[in-house]
């Protein structure tokens, strides 16, 4: 079996050794605002200092996402974006930054539907019935992904998918929230590889003015059960947020604020806006 999570481990170790603060993982919706622009936005994020990536697969019913991402998914789908758009974004990121960890993030139905496709000429016999995730895992690994987040797949129903991903060298990245029970934290800790995604607050994605006051206690509860690296997302939008959570965890995930930055930029200035925004939140540039 392939070495799961090796790029994640290397990235976290390098960040710790450098002393430059936490890694920043930008989340980009594949196909937003258009599929044609996505590769350049990926390259711009790398130039801006992305320490890793989350590439979002557009979906019509993103139940964990707030207005910014819901709108981005709607625009992307209307423009013809699909899983193929997301996989192309993964390829772009892998070519531009060979050692950056890349996570494909999405919801279960689109992922399962890959194994049911009749258009994929490379599909192997039995994939659609025996292993619904097999086709997705193969294609994601070939594109250069390191792991998957399946937002709406509970940990206690994830073992079959996790084993399929592992056969292709992909880590299953789990989410935990402040409302997670000790039993749920233990279940994730037992299965985790790559990193664990900590949702900093209750509710959907979206930029907030400040990090939740009880976040430190939440980190302590998780850290008591695992030494897997932790990353925090949901509500992280400013350099001071990154600095604040960076005293507790080695990575910060920025999604809605970056999506809003793209949406508000002029069409000919979106890549520049992405690069500049990430330079600010990573500390490379002052505002």
Assess whether 54 carries a catalytic annotation: yes
Q: How many C-beta atoms lie closer than 10 Å to residue 8's C-beta?
A: 25
Catalytic residue among 40, 65, 127, 227: 65
> Which pLDDT score, from 0 to 100, does residue 201 have?
62
Q: Mean per-residue pLDDT for 100-112?
A: 92
In whole numbers, what is the pLDDT of the chain averaged over residues? 88
Q: What are the structure tokens assigned to 248, written together?
A: 């507790």
Q: What is the pLDDT of residues 148-205, one digit of tens each?
A: 999 999 999 999 999 999 999 999 999 999 999 999 999 999 999 999 999 976 544 4
> Which pLDDT score, from 0 to 100, does residue 125 have?
38
Assess whether 84 carries a catalytic annotation: no
Q: Mean per-residue pLDDT for 71-96?
A: 95
Of 111-125, 146-160, 217-231, which gets the smallest average pLDDT? 111-125
Question: What's the rounded Cα separation, in Å, for the pair 279 and 283?
Answer: 6
Q: Mean per-residue pLDDT for 49-55?
A: 95
Catalytic residue among 20, 36, 54, 209: 54
**Is the pTM value of this prediction over 0.95?**
no
> Which pLDDT score, from 0 to 100, does residue 229 have?
95
Q: What is the pLDDT of residues 242-257, one digit of tens each?
A: 988 889 999 999 988 9
Q: Mean per-residue pLDDT for 263-286?
A: 94
Q: Is the pLDDT of residue 111 over 80?
A: yes
Tell me the domains of the chain and their CATH numbers: 6-281 (3.20.20.70)
> Which pLDDT score, from 0 to 100, does residue 206 have?
39
3-class DSSP string for the chain: CCCCCHHHHHHHHHHHHHCCCCEEEEEEECCCCCCCCHHHHHHHHHHHCCCCEEEECCCCCCCCCCHHHHHHHHHHHHCCCCHHHHHHHHHHHHHHCCCCCEEEEECHHHHHHHHHCCCCCCCCCCHHHHCCCHHHHHHHHHHCCCEEEECCCCHHHCHHHHHHHHHCCCEEEEEECCCCCHHHHHHHHHHCCCCEEEECCCCCCCCCCCCCCCHHHHHHHHHCCCCCCEEEECCCCCHHHHHHHHCCCCEEEECHHHHHHHHHCCHHHHHHHHHHHHHHHCCCCCC
Q: Is the pLDDT of residue 127 over 50?
A: no
Yes or no: say if 57 and 35 are a contact pair by the CB < 8 Å rule.
Answer: no
């Amino acid at each position: 079996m392939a070495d799961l999570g090796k790029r994640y481990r290397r990235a976290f170790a390098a960040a710790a050794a450098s002393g430059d603060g936490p890694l920043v993982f930008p989340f980009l919706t594949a196909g937003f605002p258009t599929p044609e622009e996505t590769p350049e936005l990926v390259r711009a994020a790398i130039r801006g200092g992305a320490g890793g990536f989350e590439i979002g697969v557009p979906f019509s019913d993103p139940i964990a996402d707030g207005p910014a991402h819901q709108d981005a998914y709607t625009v992307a789908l209307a423009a013809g974006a699909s899983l193929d758009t997301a996989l192309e974004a993964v390829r772009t990121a892998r070519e531009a930054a060979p050692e950056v960890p890349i996570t494909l993030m999405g919801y279960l139905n689109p992922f399962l539907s890959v194994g049911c496709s009749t258009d994929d000429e490379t599909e192997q016999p039995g994939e659609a019935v025996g292993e619904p995730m097999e086709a997705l895992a193969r294609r994601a690994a070939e594109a250069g992904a390191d792991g998957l987040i399946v937002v709406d797949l509970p940990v206690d129903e994830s073992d079959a998918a996790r084993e399929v991903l592992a056969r292709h060298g992909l880590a299953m990245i789990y989410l935990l929230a402040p409302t997670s029970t000790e039993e749920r934290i233990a279940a994730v800790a037992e299965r985790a590889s790559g990193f664990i995604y900590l949702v900093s607050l209750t509710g959907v994605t979206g930029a907030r003015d400040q990090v939740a006051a009880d976040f430190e206690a939440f980190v302590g509860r998780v850290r008591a059960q695992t030494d897997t690296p932790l990353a925090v997302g949901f509500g992280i939008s400013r350099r001071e947020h990154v600095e604040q959570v960076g005293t507790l965890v080695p990575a910060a995930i920025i999604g809605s604020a970056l999506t809003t930055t793209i949406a508000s930029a002029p069409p000919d200035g979106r890549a520049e806006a992405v690069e500049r925004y990430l330079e600010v939140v990573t500390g490379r540039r002052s505002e």
